[in-house]
């Protein structure tokens, strides 16, 4: 028997067959000349290489190329295809080990999620019934929906899984690749650069802005404090917008007094368009986005927003160069008010000090703060007021704390007051648990991960469903009940560290969380030092829209009365809780 026919391609390209009756052991090896040869071992152990070697040189290959090329190319293509199919099947198999809906052929669950935002939020929530780790196919894209603390920890604590999901790309035209949307080395260097800008000492400077704008909000709310229902959402929003504009850019849009300003309208419109685009797959391809008329409006908003940011950058850069930078300016502005740094000034100083930040780079970051720093806080303050408005006893306790600190005075809030507001802080934390401003955090997995018994392959989009995570009854018994005492130190001891992540966690956590907590405390206490709040819409009737930010579909309807009146007419606002 001949095993195998040995094939020797000599230097001339001639091909000879030499039958050899022998057994074969490990025949393949490389020769030093780049020639591949086969060596054969006789059962006796003798190496028969000289007689039975298969080898070919470049020349042989070249001379055979014309006829073989199409076959080689085809074989290569088929080979690659098979490898791809095999690998893909392997991934599909791994993904399908996770529980999840069966879905339709090709479409998966695409039709199931092609619904209006309110319904979409409910449907995605229903997926979590499959367990803390589940999968869903939207056409050929696999999503892993994660709502268990152990699995959340694997993803958020990792230095590797820092890439945001595809949805964030719709923010690129506005925010570029600023801190929120960037990844890799760009993100690392920006994060390092920006972290000192959120130092406690710097935040202290912003307290004056928080106080002034919150006092203005409370003043505007006085006009509504007649016990009749109204939507408080726009009042909070405009105040948060004024705060972030002044702290990020050192300029004010006076949104509370001029909600019709071009900038204010553009910011609302663009956030709305982006959120729509994220939740409606048919708006995602650029062609359809243009064809359906959204691109034009989107781009007009962009021009207004970028124009405003750029104008501020140029103005502040010039001031810095003229020696009127933040340190020099720390005297008074045109109106005699004490001036303070803005994030923009810090970025400009870094750039003048040699950090390579162009105007465009600075704009990305300032726009990122404008976006990330106002919608999130707006939602958080609204939700806190809404929940307090449904829980009069808890509101009483909070107001007792405020009265203990401020008495009858309406003086501005100081840093030491903020430290004393422990119960207020727990109310804010509990509101962020029940209604986290960012209800879903998306990550593109670049490497395989193992969570519990599941192996999730790279390429899957992980969606951390914070809204559901915060309702795990094992971590938060009676999860729908608003109970700020859950955040007393003794009640947090046994909780999983990743069971509560309103500001995300790990390397990509929210850089602005201290800023946000301070701001929330100031805004809420300005309202509750003056008014009693009662929420109108029962929690069970509340419709939620969970896009980038978790919002009420139809605003937050409340009744307000001045606290002094509420004390004389307690029946009106102190009598009920329908939670
Ligand atoms: C209650 C208010 C806030 C909440 C609940 C909140 C929540 C979050 C969350 C969950 C993330 C992670 C998002 C993700 O991974 O996709 C995040 C990131 C971020 N937040 Fe906040 N945020 C708040 C306020 C703020 C404020 C006031 C600022 C700025 C002044 C800010 C700036 C940022 C930035 C720049 C990032 C990106 C950080 C990075 O990737 O390194 N946030 N925030």
What spacing in Å lies between the alpha carbon of 512 and ligand 1's midpoint?
6
Mean pLDDT for 69-97 is 89
What spacing in Å lies between the alpha carbon of 183 and ligand 1's midpoint?
15
Residue 70 counted as domain residue: no
CA dihedral 421→427→428→429, nearest 10 degrees, is: 110
Query: If you take atom 7 of ligand 1, which residue's CA is the nearest one?
Result: 503
Ligand 1 atom with the shortest distance to the CA of 244: 30
Report DSSP state, residue 488. S
Per the annotation, where are the binding residues? 510
Is 570's pLDDT higher than 50? no
Query: If you take atom 6 of ligand 1, which residue's CA is the nearest one?
Result: 503
Q: Please tell me the total count of domains within the chain.
A: 2
- pLDDT tens profile 473-490: 999 999 999 999 999 999
Tally of CB atoms within 10 A around 223: 10
Burial per residue of 460-483, b for 16 or more beta-carbon CB atoms within 10 angstroms, e otherwise: bbbbbbbbbbbbbeebbeebeebb
Residue 409 counted as domain residue: yes
Query: If you take atom 16 of ligand 1, which residue's CA is the nearest one?
Result: 441
Closest CA to 528 of 245, 247, 203, 232: 232
Among 155, 176, 372, residue to substitute to test ligand 1 (most atoms within 8 Å of Cβ): 372
Domain co-membership, 341 together with 203: yes
Distance separating alpha carbons of residues 266 and 301, to the nearest angstrom: 5
Residue 94 counted as domain residue: no
Residue count (the chain): 579
Closest CA to 507 of 160, 267, 177, 132: 160
Q: What is the pLDDT of residue 79?
A: 92
Q: In whole angstroms, how far apart are CA 559 and each of 226, 434, 447, 568, 578?
A: 8, 21, 51, 16, 15
What spacing in Å lies between the alpha carbon of 511 and ligand 1's midpoint?
6
What spacing in Å lies between the alpha carbon of 336 and ligand 1's midpoint?
33
**Which of 22, 37, 65 represents a domain boundary (last residue)?**
65
- Helix H, strand E, coil C: the string for 435-451 is CCCCCEEEEECCCCEEE
Domain co-membership, 169 together with 61: no
Residue 96 counted as domain residue: no
| H-helix or E-strand spanning residue 274 | helix 262-279
Residues with CB under 6 A from ligand 1: 164, 179-180, 191, 368-369, 372-373, 376-377, 380, 437-438, 441, 502-504, 508, 510-512, 515-516
Angle, alpha carbons 545-244-198 (nearest 5°): 105
Residue 288 counted as domain residue: yes
- Listing DSSP states for 294-353 in one string gives HHHHHHHHHHHHHHHHHHHHHHHHHHHHTT-SHHHH-SB-TTSPBP---HHHHHHHHHHT
In terms of C-beta density within 10 A (0-12 exposed, 13-18 middle, 19 or more buried), how is residue 214 classed? buried
Distance separating alpha carbons of residues 566 and 572, to the nearest angstrom: 7
Query: If you take atom 17 of ligand 1, which residue's CA is the nearest one?
Result: 510
Distance separating alpha carbons of residues 109 and 143, to the nearest angstrom: 11
Residue 456 counted as domain residue: yes
Is 241's pLDDT higher than 80? yes
Q: Which residue has the higher pLDDT, 396 or 268?
A: 396
Q: Which two structure tokens, joined as six digits, stand for 410?
A: 């309406």
Per the annotation, where are the binding residues for heme? 510
Query: If you take atom 37 of ligand 1, which residue's CA is the nearest one?
Result: 180
Sign of torsion over alpha carbons 168, 171, 173, 179: negative
- pLDDT tens profile 273-319: 998 888 787 888 999 999 999 999 999 999 999 999 999 999 888 88
Distance separating alpha carbons of residues 385 and 376, to the nearest angstrom: 14
Domain co-membership, 378 together with 457: yes
What spacing in Å lies between the alpha carbon of 377 and ligand 1's midpoint?
10
Mean pLDDT for 260-280 is 88
ipTM: 0.99
Closest CA to 374 of 474, 267, 294: 267
Q: Helices in 494-533 by DSSP H: which ranges?
A: 513-530
State phi, psi for 455 to the nearest 5 degrees: -110, 115
SS3 for 138? strand
What spacing in Å lies between the alpha carbon of 501 and ligand 1's midpoint?
11
Domain co-membership, 23 together with 158: no
What spacing in Å lies between the alpha carbon of 51 and ligand 1's midpoint?
72
DSSP β-bridge partners for residue 29 = 37
Q: How confident is the model at residue 261 (pLDDT cuts 50, 70, 90)?
A: confident
Domain co-membership, 129 together with 38: no
Domain co-membership, 58 together with 156: no
**Which of 65, 93, 109 represents a domain boundary (last residue)?**
65
Q: Which residue bears the tokens 């390429």?
A: 459
Q: What is the pLDDT of residue 128?
A: 93
Ligand 1 atom with the shortest distance to the CA of 519: 27
Closest CA to 509 of 144, 147, 157, 185: 157
Among 510, 511, 515, 516, residue to substitute to test ligand 1 (most atoms within 8 Å of Cβ): 510
CATH number of the domain bearing residue 161: 1.10.630.10
What spacing in Å lies between the alpha carbon of 36 and ligand 1's midpoint?
58
Domain co-membership, 59 together with 123: no
Residue 252 counted as domain residue: yes
Q: How confident is the model at residue 58 (pLDDT cuts 50, 70, 90)?
A: low
Q: How confident is the model at residue 33 (pLDDT cuts 50, 70, 90)?
A: very low
Domain co-membership, 60 together with 135: no
SS3 for 440? strand
Ligand 1 atom with the shortest distance to the CA of 247: 30
Among 346, 376, 379, 467, residue to substitute to test ligand 1 (most atoms within 8 Å of Cβ): 376
Q: What is the pLDDT of residue 51?
A: 44
State phi, psi for 362 to the nearest 5 degrees: -65, -40
Cα-atom radius of gyration of the chain, to the nearest Å?
32
Domain co-membership, 55 together with 123: no
Domain co-membership, 471 together with 544: yes
Ligand 1 atom with the shortest distance to the CA of 374: 27
Q: What is the pLDDT of residue 571?
A: 45
Ligand 1 atom with the shortest distance to the CA of 180: 37
Q: Is the peptide bond before 4 cis (omega within 30 degrees of 0)?
A: yes
Burial per residue of 309-321, b for 16 or more beta-carbon CB atoms within 10 angstroms, e otherwise: beebbeebbebbe
In terms of C-beta density within 10 A (0-12 exposed, 13-18 middle, 19 or more buried), how is residue 210 classed? buried
Query: If you take atom 26 of ligand 1, which residue's CA is the nearest one?
Result: 373
Domain co-membership, 48 together with 131: no
Ligand 1 atom with the shortest distance to the CA of 194: 35
**Which of 45, 65, 85 represents a domain boundary (last residue)?**
65
Q: What is the pLDDT of residue 259?
A: 79
Is 143's pLDDT higher than 60? yes
What spacing in Å lies between the alpha carbon of 52 and ligand 1's midpoint?
69
Domain that holds residue 47: 1-65
Ligand 1 atom with the shortest distance to the CA of 442: 16
Closest CA to 218 of 421, 374, 385: 385
Domain co-membership, 412 together with 519: yes
What spacing in Å lies between the alpha carbon of 437 and ligand 1's midpoint?
10
Q: How confident is the model at residue 258 (pLDDT cuts 50, 70, 90)?
A: confident
Residue 326 counted as domain residue: yes
What spacing in Å lies between the alpha carbon of 503 and ligand 1's midpoint?
6
Among 512, 518, 547, residue to substitute to test ligand 1 (most atoms within 8 Å of Cβ): 512
Mean pLDDT of the chain: 85
Q: Which two structure tokens, joined as six digits, stand for 21?
A: 């009756």
Query: If you take atom 9 of ligand 1, which residue's CA is the nearest one?
Result: 503
Closest CA to 502 of 127, 152, 192, 232: 152
């Amino acid at each position: 028997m001949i095993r195998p026919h040995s094939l020797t391609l000599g230097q001339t390209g001639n091909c000879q067959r030499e039958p050899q009756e022998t057994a074969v052991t490990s025949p393949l090896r490389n020769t030093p000349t780049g020639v591949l040869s086969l060596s054969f071992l006789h059962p006796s152990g003798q190496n028969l290489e000289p007689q039975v070697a298969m080898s070919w040189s470049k020349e042989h290959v070249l001379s055979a190329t014309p006829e073989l090329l199409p076959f080689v190319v085809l074989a290569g293509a088929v080979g690659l295809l098979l490898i791809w199919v095999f690998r893909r099947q392997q991934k599909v198999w791994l993904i399908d080990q996770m529980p999840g809906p069966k879905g339709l052929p090709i479409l998966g669950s695409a039709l199931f999620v092609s619904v209006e935002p309110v319904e979409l939020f409910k449907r995605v929530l229903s997926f979590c019934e499959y367990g803390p780790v589940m999968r869903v196919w939207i056409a050929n894209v696999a999503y892993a929906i994660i709502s268990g603390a152990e699995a959340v920890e694997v993803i958020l604590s990792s230095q590797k899984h820092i890439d945001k999901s595809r949805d964030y790309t719709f923010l690129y035209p506005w925010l570029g690749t600023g801190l929120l949307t960037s990844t890799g080395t760009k993100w690392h260097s920006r994060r390092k650069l920006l972290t000192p800008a959120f130092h406690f000492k710097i935040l202290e400077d912003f307290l004056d802005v928080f106080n002034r704008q919150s006092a203005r909000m409370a003043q505007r709310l006085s006009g509504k404090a007649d016990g009749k229902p109204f939507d408080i959402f726009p009042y909070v929003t405009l105040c948060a917008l004024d705060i972030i504009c002044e702290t990020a850019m050192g300029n004010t849009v006076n949104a509370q007094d001029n909600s019709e300003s071009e900038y204010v309208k553009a910011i609302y419109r663009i956030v709305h368009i982006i959120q729509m685009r994220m939740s409606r797959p048919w708006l995602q391809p650029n062609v359809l986005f243009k064809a359906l008329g959204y691109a034009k409006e989107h781009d007009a908003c962009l021009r207004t927003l970028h124009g405003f940011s750029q104008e501020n950058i140029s103005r502040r850069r010039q001031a810095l160069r003229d020696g009127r930078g933040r340190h020099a300016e720390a005297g008074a502005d045109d109106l005699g008010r004490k001036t303070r740094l803005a994030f923009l000034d810090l970025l400009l100083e870094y750039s003048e000090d040699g950090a390579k930040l162009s105007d465009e780079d600075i704009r990305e970051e300032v726009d990122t703060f404008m976006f990330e720093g106002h919608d999130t806080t707006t939602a958080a303050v609204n939700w806190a007021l809404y929940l307090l408005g449904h829980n009069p006893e808890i509101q009483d306790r909070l107001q007792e704390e405020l009265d203990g600190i401020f008495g009858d005075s309406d003086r501005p809030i100081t840093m030491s007051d903020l430290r004393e507001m422990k119960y207020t802080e727990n109310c804010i934390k509990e509101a962020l648990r029940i209604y986290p401003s960012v209800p879903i955090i998306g990550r593109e997995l670049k490497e395989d991960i193992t969570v519990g018994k599941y192996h999730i392959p790279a390429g899957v989009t992980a969606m951390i469903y914070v809204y559901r995570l915060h309702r795990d009854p094992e971590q938060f018994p009676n999860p729908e009940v608003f109970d700020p005492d859950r955040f007393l130190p003794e009640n947090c001891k046994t909780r999983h560290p990743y069971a509560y992540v309103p500001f995300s966690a790990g390397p990509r956590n929210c850089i602005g969380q201290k800023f946000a907590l301070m701001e929330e405390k100031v805004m809420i206490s300005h309202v509750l030092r003056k008014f009693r709040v009662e929420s109108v819409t029962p929690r069970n009737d509340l419709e939620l829209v969970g896009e980038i930010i978790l919002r009420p579909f139809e605003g937050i309807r409340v009744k307000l009365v001045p606290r002094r009146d509420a004390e004389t007419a307690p029946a009106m606002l102190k009598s009920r809780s329908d939670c």
